[in-house]
C-alpha cells in the first residue's frame, strides 16, 4: 500500500486511535466535499501535516469500506438529491472490514443543510433488509421503506484525519469502485475529500489548503455519481459539473449528450 505518494505522506502525521477520534462531536454538522486528482493532493497533505492526526486502527491508516445503497423502484432518494429537496435521505448498509462492524444507516440532510446520521448495528452485510431493519427504517426514514431494494455497491479506501484540537474530521476517499450488478466502474486517481465540521466554525486547515490549491467545494455524492456512472436512464443535469470532472480526469464515459 505504500507505493502511492499520498500514502507515503501519511508518515508525516502523528497518529491517534479511533477512540480518540470519537472525541470530535457535532451539534449541527456541516459536510463540505472536494474533488481533486491524487497527484495534486500531495501538496495539500504536506500543508496540513502539522494540524491533524491520522486515525490508526490495528496499525493501519488505510481503512477499507464496503457499502450497499438502497432506493425505491422510482429512485426516490436519488431524485430528492438531484432536485435539491430538503429534507432528503440516503439509506445504506456499511461494513468496516478492519473492525468487523456492520451498520444499517440513514443519512438525513435537513432544510438547514445539517447532516444527521442514525444507524443500527447489524450482523449481516446481505443486500436484503430483514423485518427488524425495515422497522428501523420506518421510524427514521421517509417513503415506502418496504419497497427499498439494493441498487448500488461501493468499495473504497478511507483515510481519516482529525484536527489536533478535536474540533474537525476530514475523510479522504480513494480507489472508489461502483458496481450495480452488471457494470463495474473504478475512479482510479480521484480523491474525494470531505470536511466534517460544526456549523458556524470557519477555521479549517484542510479547507484553507484546498483553497490555496484552487480546489473549490463540489456537490459530489458517491451514491448519485455511482448511479450515473453505471448504465441507467436517470436524470443527471444537476450533476453535470461533477460528471465532466470524472470524464476528463478519470477517462470514464460518465454521461452521453
- Dump pLDDT digits (tens) for 187-232: 888 899 999 887 666 689 999 999 999 999 988 899 999 999 887 7
| Residues 35-47, mean pLDDT to the nearest whole number | 92
- Residue 20 near residue 168 (C-beta atoms within 8 A): no
> What is the Cβ-side half-sphere exposure of residue 229, based on CA atoms within 13 angstroms?
27
Angle between helices 205-212 and 38-48 (to 10 degrees): 130
Residue 252 scores a pLDDT above 60: no
Instruction: Give 5's pLDDT tier (boundaries 50, 70, 90).
Output: confident
In the DSSP assignment, the letter for residue 57 is: B
- Dump pLDDT digits (tens) for 137-171: 999 998 788 899 999 999 999 999 999 998 899 99
In this structure, the number of other CB atoms found within 10 A of the CB of residue 113 comes to 12
Instruction: Give 50's pLDDT tier (boundaries 50, 70, 90).
Output: very high
Residue 248 scores a pLDDT above 90: no
pLDDT score recorded for residue 163? 94
Instruction: Map residue 38 onto helix, strand or coil.
Output: helix
Looking at the chain, the whole-number percentage of residues with pLDDT higher than 90 is 63
pLDDT score recorded for residue 213? 94
Quote the pTM value.
0.89
CATH architecture designation of domain 5-250: Beta Barrel (2.40)
Q: Among 32-36, 69-73, 169-173, 247-251, where is mean pLDDT lowest?
A: 247-251
- Beta bridge mates, 21: none
- Strands 14-17, 52-56: pairing kind: parallel
pLDDT score recorded for residue 1? 45
Domain ranges across the chain: 5-250
Amino acid at each position: 500500500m505504500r507505493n502511492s505518494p499520498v500514502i507515503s505522506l501519511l508518515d508525516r502525521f502523528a497518529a491517534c486511535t479511533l477512540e480518540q477520534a470519537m472525541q470530535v462531536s457535532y451539534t449541527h454538522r456541516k459536510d463540505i466535499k472536494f474533488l481533486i486528482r491524487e497527484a495534486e493532493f500531495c501538496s495539500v497533505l504536506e500543508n496540513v501535516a502539522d494540524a491533524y492526526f491520522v486515525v490508526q486502527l490495528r496499525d493501519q491508516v488505510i481503512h477499507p469500506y464496503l457499502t450497499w445503497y438502497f432506493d425505491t423502484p422510482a429512485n426516490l432518494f436519488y431524485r430528492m438529491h438531484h432536485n435539491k429537496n430538503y429534507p432528503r435521505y440516503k439509506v445504506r448498509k456499511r461494513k468496516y472490514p478492519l473492525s468487523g462492524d456492520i451498520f444499517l444507516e440513514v443519512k438525513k440532510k435537513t432544510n438547514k443543510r445539517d447532516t444527521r446520521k442514525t444507524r443500527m448495528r447489524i450482523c449481516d452485510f446481505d443486500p436484503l433488509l430483514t423485518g427488524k431493519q425495515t422497522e428501523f427504517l420506518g421510524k427514521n426514514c421517509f417513503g415506502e421503506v418496504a419497497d427499498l431494494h439494493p441498487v448500488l455497491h461501493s468499495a473504497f479506501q478511507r483515510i481519516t484525519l482529525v484536527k489536533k484540537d478535536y474540533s474537525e474530521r476530514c475523510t479522504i476517499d480513494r480507489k472508489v469502485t461502483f458496481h450495480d450488478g452488471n457494470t463495474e466502474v473504478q475512479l482510479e486517481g480521484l480523491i474525494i475529500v470531505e470536511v466534517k465540521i460544526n456549523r458556524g466554525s470557519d477555521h479549517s486547515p484542510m479547507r484553507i489548503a484546498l483553497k490555496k490549491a484552487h480546489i473549490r467545494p463540489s456537490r459530489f455524492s458517491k451514491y448519485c455519481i455511482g448511479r450515473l456512472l453505471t448504465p441507467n436512464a436517470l436524470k443527471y443535469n444537476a450533476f453535470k459539473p461533477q460528471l465532466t470532472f470524472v470524464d476528463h480526469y478519470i477517462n470514464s464515459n460518465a454521461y452521453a449528450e
